[in-house]
Structure 1
Amino acid sequence: MQYTLGVGLATATAIITTLTAAFLLNRSRSAETVSLVGFNVAVAVWTGGNALQVASTTLTGKLFWVNVQYVGIALLPVSIFAFAVYLSGADDRVTRTHLGLLAVPMAALALLSWTNGVHGLVRTSVGLAVVDGVVVLERTFGPAFWLGWVYSNLLNLTATVLVLRSVVYADRIIERRVLALLIGPLVPWVAQFLYLTGAHSIEPETFFAFTAVAFAYAEYSWDSIESAQSRDAVLELLEEGVLVVASDGRVVDLNSATRELLALGDAVAVGEPIDDVLDDYPTLLEAYREGEATTDLTIDAGQTRRHVDVQFSSFAGNVGNPDKVVVLTDVTAIREQERALERQNERLESFASMVSHDLRNPLNVAQGRVELAEAECDSEHLQIAQRAHNRMAGLIDDILTLARQGQSVESVEPVDLGSLARATWEMVETPEASLEVETDLVIRADRSRLQQLLENLFRNAVEHNDPGVTVTLGRSPDGFYVADDGTGIPPDERDDVFEAGYSTRDRGPDWASTS
């Protein structure tokens, strides 16, 4: 056995990654952790095998430990790729079956290494040499090795991209964890470049210890590593526009709703100063600077005028100033509906005022004539006519109040139901019909509205029945009822009569309406 600096470094790396794997496995069994455990085991096998290979002084011993190394070499790119997949949230597109298939070429490379003596595809020649007093293994690599080298580096490169993508979407306030995710994949790449260019002689796999420890730190200190895909899905599902601005005033994220609301299209926004992004929206930019929630803010986005409610919230961590989240809610449709309703109410009030004015003139004439007639003769008919005129005046006032205030006329008071029903009956043209009041119930109601209800019920009963119908007002367990002894409502139409606007007037008075 021989001992060199390379043996010591490789041994230290194997020990560090073994302990890291044990620590992670004891902490959690999540998919991210298990894949990271696999990565640490791969590095431990690779670097441990390398330490023993360098320490060996015989060709047989060196080749044995080289083959052991290939087990770690085959496992490493697949495990680091799996970790990156779970970290980035891409596991719905890259399943365990896919990972298994990706591992096949590397498993084949390991098998070819162990059987290289038969075919020579991994190493075309091997031998021993002494360099500076150290016995080293000299070998010429075959086509299988180079294919495996290209394939494993492609997997490592893809994993690096996925990790860096997750870093881009990570919150800026967790800078130490972001730094760990950056160190993890980048250090081995830099080490490999320096090794290949001759800048140093330390084998690149030794530097995977940095990757193992960095990723373990990120996994341990991050309760839930952010899934970039989940973040995308949540933001894109939101109907509200979301704009995240860092403490330095630069946009770090926004969703599609924000781009549509502000007509940004494909313009670059992430990484740009918020002042530049909102340059075309001075009122929104002013609201952002003031940091106060604003309602019904008008902005002109392209050719469209929009109304938005703006809300702000900040989140702070242990590093730096708080970041700010701007939430934009498009209330354009609501404001347009409100304006349309206002215009409709204005037209309704105008119409009601016009109708009431046109009705009051002839009504005043009729009331005046009745008063003159009462001065000349005493007639019961004139008294009934005067009450009808007063009722009409009350209805006109109710219509005006309803149109102007937009609510029901309510002046609740105790009302003698029987007396009101008899007075109402006199207001309805009821030749040959009769009313029977079978209750002395007193209820709390708006007298005018209750009278209007009874008028409609009485009129329906008289108009939709043959002459001589009897209408009955009685008490029910939970109120009162109005019924008649007419022909009734056909069974197949009883559900329809409660629909607004339903009428049978076009079919003639061949059946009765009961209530």
Structure 2
Amino acid sequence: MSSVAVAAYVYTHETMLSSIPVVTIYVAVALWAAVSALDHVLSSQALTLLFADVKYVSGGTVVLGLFFFVAEYTDDRRWLRPRRVVGVMLPFLILLGFVFADETFGTTLLRQHVVATPSGPFDTSVRSSGVVFLLFTMYAYVLIGTAGYKLFSEYRRLKVDTLREQIRAILVATVVPAVLNMAFNLRLVTVDLTPIGFFVTTLMAVAVIFRYRITDIVPIARRTAIDSVDVGMLVVDSEGTIIDANEAASAHLDVPAGDLTGRGVVDLFSGNPDVVRVLENGDERRTRTDYVVDGEERYFDVDVSTIENGNGDLIGRVVLLSDVTDQVSWERALRERTTELERQNDRLEEFAGIVSHDLRNPLNVASMRLELEADNLDEENYAKIASSLDRMEGIVDDTLELARQGQRVTERDDVSLRAVAEAAWANVATETGSLTVASDRVLSANEPRLQRVFENLFRNAVEHGSTSPDSQARQDAVEHGAAAAGTGDPSVTVTVGATDDGWYVEDDGPGIPEEERSDVLQQGYSTNDEGTGFGLAIVNASVEAHGWDLSITESRDGGARFEVTVPTDSPAMATEVE
């Protein structure tokens, strides 16, 4: 009766663990126990033969049910595939055929001789087994041994006390009846004590159902996911008690896994009102909370999901803990960096305003005074003063440009390298050069500012790729501010292309001496007395404002090559477009 009660309870409380193997086991156990009792009470050879056949069938059913239960419990899906299920069941189906043959045709392959005797209180039959019975018995013991090995392997692997206690109970329920049955078949005892073993099995079933809550949730069936992820996982029953916790949860919360199980999940997060609210309301949602681990404040995203059985009834919840401390720190640093950049941009705007107002106004006054005194000055002095004022005007313009280009880029779009280069060339191109775009790619950039970078680089190449003596050309090549357009070599070619990690601009002019390459990007550096020294500094400022790196090398034709590298942590850059 107890076996029937267990089967009925499991069947009516179907959960994530399939009830079919468990119900099958305990119905077969109940049938075995019933015929064993009747065999003791009703002593006749005909009934003994019938009861023996029932025991063959019920015994095989118990073994099959046990094997498939363990396969599901340990999540060994290989043995739950249809072909393998049929393969495992095939010997049992053959056994049924021999039971029918013995009954119908009087064969003796399964049993050779069965008589009823009053010799024992538990089994009143004496039998001589046939070869088929011996082979099937060996097969049954192989299945039982395989199931026991799977359970023992799980026991050694798992660290959670609740699960280990479950497995211990299941092992006892498996081993005790198997050992007693083996002792009887080996003639070590004169009576079949298997029914007593099944009684122990029933007691263990009651323990794992009501004490270890195996029918509520089956964590082992999810072991691969639980053990392989860094996300903390708490499995909570319908009453809010933690019944399982993986090692990641234990590490995240700085609580031993054994101390987590059996604890109320609301109590665990009692200091975090947002999490408690989600748990108490039964919501499926995410919230963020902080938790002190080893004296350090850490942050977690807490995801709560409900678990329902086949009837749609709530049987528990899964609480996932994702450590987002690094992400929170990064977001905080990003906010601080953004705030600092905004302050820097404000200061640069203020500086630009000062330059524009406080410097340009006196320059305008000086220019006006110069025009008024033009008749009183000789031509040479007038030209020198005018040239100096023009140079100061250029410095003011370049300083304003440097301030604007140095502001961190915050707005980006997908920009075609070819398109922006050709647009820049249209603003610079003269008869002194030609543009070649060797390859294209899509950049994440601020298009107007990127176009200004190309314009400055193109001017530098076109205006200083001259046919003047080599030493003078090299000096001019480091700065474009004072050069006059149209003095360059009509044959100078500027090439733009993509690299594996960025892009480049190169020319076939005289190039920049290696010893000067580290200096030419600095503001104010010029080898020309009339230059401002801001041209390439503006380029470098804009490149750095995008989060990129600029370097200068020599082109294949001996000219200057400017390479821009996009770091791996910079905004995404699309692949090269041929």
TM-score (norm 2): 0.45
Report the TM-score, using the length of structure 1 for normalisation: 0.50
